Amino acid sequence: MANWHCFKALERFFLFDVLSNSLFSVTEPVYDYLQGRPVKAADLVQIEADLAELKGRGLLSDTREIEPEIVREPLLKALCLHVSHDCNLRCRYCFAGTGPFGGKRENMSFEVGKKAIDLLLRNSGGRQQLEVDFFGGEPLLNFNVVKQLVAYGREAAGSCHKQIHFTLTTNGLALDEPVRSFLNREEIALVLSLDGRPGINDRMRGKGCYEKVVPNFLALIREREEKNYYLRGTFTAFNRDFSEDAAHLYNLGFRELSLEPVVELEGEYRLSGVYLEELKKEYERLAELYLEKRRQGAGFTFFHFEINLEHGPCLLKRLTGCGAGFDYFAVTPAGDLYPCHQFVGRSEFLMGDVFSGITRLDLRTEFGAATLYKKEGCSDCWSRFYCSGGCHANAHFINGSIYKPDQIGCELQRKRLELALALKGIEMYEK
Amino acid sequence: MKLIQPLVQGNLASTVRTGGCGECKNSCQSACKTSCTVGNQVCQKQ
């Protein structure tokens, strides 16, 4: 049933109500009953009484949601500024084709970046909280423009009573003291790229990379009191035991982790469906590590395990997803606009530029309408309000359509969500 | 209730009336950049 999901995770049984976002601890007979297995007569009476009571209290939904009419103004919210289409690494799995996204290696000028920020501010309506991510390539190869754009963005946003939250994604090679000092002083949220153990990291990111970047990352997080960052790694078929990489990163001193499966169509490091069960088991090991550290009172954050059942986003946000191509765009060094950073270089998705604005209104309408109900298989999936139909770019990359989610990604998403719910449940139970 | 114990009582459905302000974080911008994980964002109205 798409409204409830009963599952076993971390040696316990849980029931999740999709529409209310309520979570229950259940006994094994309840689990068996909801899986359609036979249960003892005495248990059956109690199970049905308990379920009826919860339905009566509105905590279990009897019917699925009525699909609300989604009306949204086409306002901007976030930009991903590709300030450099060049890179000082040559990572094998890079979706930017080692920096230039199939184009030429170039940096963004201040003028183009300024136009992008102006476009964001001018087209964000009443929204006050806006976002700009400095991305690449490697954005620190154009550090002077980053500095200029932060100063300009803060001033321009302030003058129209808005706030821009800046993030920057970096491979860490250029994180010297003056750069770190700037990023910390300006409270720029950071995504730090590192895959884990030295051999694992250097196999994909280049020999000697680990040794060069780890001291920089450690100095950086120490100087910012270990806040406002994510250590973000990619795992591939070469490290299907990625919980070992998480443990390694934790032992180095990193507490805010995000490890993502590589999205690739071919190559020896591709994560094909053959590995699915193995990867699910590995997420279980990661959840056990997470639980162990949290029980010890040690800080440990894993991006996909951090869910907020009580104060998460509203239903409209969950139906409409990440906003790529509608209120979120990527900007190339030349000023071209694409639905998001992963679409950059795919000419059929060129949507305008920072000088003329968004000109492909047809595409914007299409992206805006690509809610989870329009995506294949999503309406009946119990995790629909957590992934919102999944990543448009991954769907298009794997299946040639933003409406056809990558099924391996879906399986992993559901597994991560089960574990996130179980971790939340155990935390509540042990409080 | 003997066999089912509520751990978290949510109210997601009611947000269809109160939500949609567009102030919460863009979902993949802050950490992953490769997956859509809207459910772990936090409502800015709270």
Q: For A345-399, how does the pLDDT look when each residue is reduced to its tens digit (9 = 90+)?
A: 999 999 999 999 999 999 999 999 999 999 999 999 999 999 999 999 999 999 9
The whole-number pLDDT of residue B14 equals 84
Inter-chain touch B37–A387, beta carbons under 8 Å: yes
pLDDT tens digits for range A330-339:
999 999 999 9
Instruction: Chain B: give the shortest CA distance to residue A366, in Å.
Output: 18
Considering only alpha carbons, which residue of chain B is nearest residue A413? Answer: B37
Instruction: Chain A: give the shortest CA distance to residue B18, in Å.
Output: 8
Considering only alpha carbons, which residue of chain B is nearest residue A94? Answer: B34
Considering only alpha carbons, which residue of chain A is nearest residue B12? Answer: A20
Instruction: Chain B: give the shortest CA distance to residue A374, in Å.
Output: 16
Inter-chain touch B37–A51, beta carbons under 8 Å: no
Inter-chain touch A304–B37, beta carbons under 8 Å: yes
Inter-chain touch B7–A24, beta carbons under 8 Å: yes
B17 touches A at CB < 8 Å: no
Tell me the average pLDDT across A23-32. Answer: 97
Inter-chain touch A391–B34, beta carbons under 8 Å: yes
The whole-number pLDDT of residue A376 equals 96
Asked if the model's pLDDT at residue A1 lies above 60, the reply is no
B39 touches A at CB < 8 Å: yes
For residues A150 and A374, give the distance between their C-alpha atoms in angstroms, rounded to a whole number.
38
The whole-number pLDDT of residue A120 equals 98
Q: A315-347 in b/e burial notation, b at 16+ Cβ within 10 A?
A: bbbbbbbbbbbbbbbbbbbebbbbbbbbbbbee
Q: How buried is residue A222: exposed, middle or buried, by Cβ count under 10 Å (0-12/13-18/19+)?
A: exposed
For residues A230 and A213, give the distance between their C-alpha atoms in angstroms, rounded to a whole number.
15
B33 touches A at CB < 8 Å: yes
Q: How many CB pairs under 8 A join A and B?
A: 213
Q: What stretch(es) of chain A map to CATH 3.20.20.70?
A: 78-305
Shortest CB distance from A24 goes to which of B2, B4, B15? B4
Residues contacting residue A167 through CB under 8 Å, at least 6 positions apart: A131, A132, A133, A134, A188, A189, A190, A191, B29, B30
The whole-number pLDDT of residue A63 equals 82
Give the containing element (helix H, strand E) for A24. strand A22-26
Inter-chain touch A53–B37, beta carbons under 8 Å: no
Considering only alpha carbons, which residue of chain B is nearest residue A66? Answer: B13
Beta strand pairing status for A328-331 and A22-26?
A: unpaired
Instruction: Chain B: give the shortest CA distance to residue A260, in Å.
Output: 7
- Higher pLDDT: A108 or B23? It is A108
Among A315, A381, A385, A421, the residue to mutate for chain B (most B Cβ within 10 A): A315
Confidence of residue B44 (pLDDT cuts 50, 70, 90): confident
- Residue whose structure tokens are 């790229």: A193
- Superfamily (CATH H level) for A78-305: Aldolase class I (3.20.20.70)
pLDDT tens digits for range B10-36:
888 888 878 889 898 887 776 777 777
Q: A124-142 in b/e burial notation, b at 16+ Cβ within 10 A?
A: beebebbbbbbbbbbbbbb
Geometric angle at alpha carbon A174, from A170 and A176, rounded to 5°: 120
Three-class SS of residue A259? strand
The whole-number pLDDT of residue B46 equals 62
Q: B33 with A341: CB under 8 angstroms? A: yes
The whole-number pLDDT of residue A211 equals 98
Chain B residues in contact with A340 (beta carbon < 8 A): 28
Shortest CB distance from B42 goes to which of A311, A316, A318? A311
Tell me the average pLDDT across A89-110. Answer: 94
CA-to-CA separations, A26 to A193, B4, B28, in angstroms, rounded: 40, 5, 33
The phi and psi torsions of A224 (rounded to 5 degrees) equal -110, 25
Chain A residues in contact with B24 (beta carbon < 8 A): 129, 313, 317
